[in-house]
Chains A and B, each alone.
Chain A
Amino acid sequence: MQILMQLIVSGISVGMIYGVIAFGYQLTFATSKTLNFGQGEALMLGALVGLTTVNFLIGNALGNFWAYILMLPVVLAFGALQGSVVEWLGVRPAMRAKSEAGWIMATIALGIIFKNLAENIWGRDALRFPSPLPEASLSIGGIRIQPMEIVVVLGAIVLMVVVELFNRYSIYGKAVVATSNDRDAAGLMGINTNRIITFSYALSSMSAAFAGVLVAPITLTGASMGAVLGLKAFAVAIIGGLSSGLGVVIGGLILGITETLTGYYISTGYKDVPGLLLLLIVLSLKPSGLFGKAAIKKV
């Protein structure tokens, strides 16, 4: 029982990271029906830019904790900028040409370019990210938890709540929701929907970059950290549904927990299998995701 609880707790923090990245997929899908297949690379770049910033600040006699806090706005701004570039270079031309699939190749290509760029700047080795909090585990009722794991869960929740409040209460947020509802009608309201789509890409990559610096102190950072996370988060987005905010959290937790359970009870070699099997099952039984609204394509 103790071990089971321990595995579930560990699975939760991993799952929340998947959830945040999947949340990023949702943001752009809602407004433009496109996704950034380089989302994992956005996470990786965020983590590495964060690492360089943190090391610079620590080099200037700042403690780990304050260096981490001061690094956050830098990484968030960088993520937003990087997302805007992806939208501008990869997605907008394809949408203008009314290409059904152009954005898929374009965002994958940009992801590869970003990865190569990172390999040349930061090298190919995994790097240690200084943790802002003590790395010793806390023991709560016999279950060991790293302080940073708690930060991951809280940070993920805060990010999603802030975006939800923005959408619900600010006129610009309502404009984002209106664009997701009906792009042409939103244009008739005087909303520049191109700008809304750029914004959703900026927000999406910002979420990924944030996820990157949340997870980096627990794992290691490096140019290759993004690919697997991006793919798994994509599975989460499909399992949870591309239209449901709650869905990605639940989907993330399901995947995170099944992974740690499989890793312990079966074999770490098989830990990716149950999640992907779940993906296949969901795709065949409920293609809009466990929590998604069925998409009816009008002919």
Chain B
Amino acid sequence: MLKIDNLVAGYGKVKVLHGISIHVPKGKTVALIGSNGAGKTTTLRALSGMLKPESGSIVLGSKNITGLTSHDITRLGLAHSPEGRRVFSTLPVMDNLLLGAFPRLTGMRAKGDVDGDINRMFELFPRLKERKAQLAGTLSGGEQQMLAMARALMLNPDVLLLDEPSMGLSPRLVEEIFHTIERLKKATITMLLVEQFAAAALDVSDFGYVMENGHIRTSGEASALQNDPAVKAAYLGGGH
């Protein structure tokens, strides 16, 4: 569904990604793990057009989206729940969700049942329903994370990028977020998940990629990575 080939990207003269290749098959969940500064967030930013790749190719479904603007990429079906949540703080929860469906409401993507999808989001995240008229900026961190995920899902995306959904949350909320990701996976949503909690991320994923200094160090089935001694020692052992 999403095929990344030899992607090179960075900020100005500083290259962050040195030719990475990742394949996210339809209906599968892929975890991208690695230490801070390995280039995980940069990878997602390059995929959704927030950062222009220098070379390499990104193919979504059958369309080459390399170098397109982020609004065009979104309209083609790639949703990105960004690092730091980035909810629209002066707008109510409901408007944030509607904006997630912007391409569907403005004829740039198949409309489907927007109202029905909002109800499905409220079912997935009951707390958002209670707060639907509240300004997004007044939500707690956990609620904002739920809103960011729900907003991205409102696109009816072909692929969903999740950047550090557990960042800064209490252990109980982290568990809740991973539980939600499992539910999305059961609903066969295609996901690329960037996470600091490597063990938990591999638990909910089909495949995993380990990133180091802008390179893919190793990759494979999630269960195989969980048993790989090198991966275990560096990312799964004891930490977090």
Contact = CB atoms under 8 A, between A and B. Distances in A.
A184 B50 contact: yes
A188 B81 CA distance: 8
Residue of B74, B75, B88, B100 most packed against chain A (CB within 10 A) = B88
A73 interface: no
Interface string A181-215: 11011111111110000000000000000000000
B86 A185 contact: yes
Interface string B143-173: 0000000011001000000000000000000
Given A184-B86, A187-B50, A175 B99 contact: yes
Contacts of B155: 189-190
B70 A184 contact: yes
B89 interface: yes
Of A177, A185, A193, most B-chain CB atoms within 10 Å? A185
B108 A190 contact: yes
Contacts of A66: none
A175 B79 CA distance: 17
25 contacts: A171-B99, A174-B91, A174-B99, A175-B99, A175-B102, A180-B90, A181-B90, A182-B86, A182-B88, A184-B50, A184-B70, A184-B86, A185-B82, A185-B88, A186-B88, A187-B50, A187-B69, A188-B74, A188-B79, A190-B71, A190-B74, A190-B75, A190-B102, A191-B99, A192-B71
B67 to A, nearest CB: 14
A56 interface: no
Task: Name, among A172, A177, A190, A193, the residue most crowded by chain B CB atoms within 10 Å (CB to CB).
Answer: A190
Contacts of B70: 184, 187-188
B29 interface: no
Nearest to B74: A190
Contacts of A187: 49-50, 69-71, 74
B48 interface: yes
B138 to A, nearest CB: 14
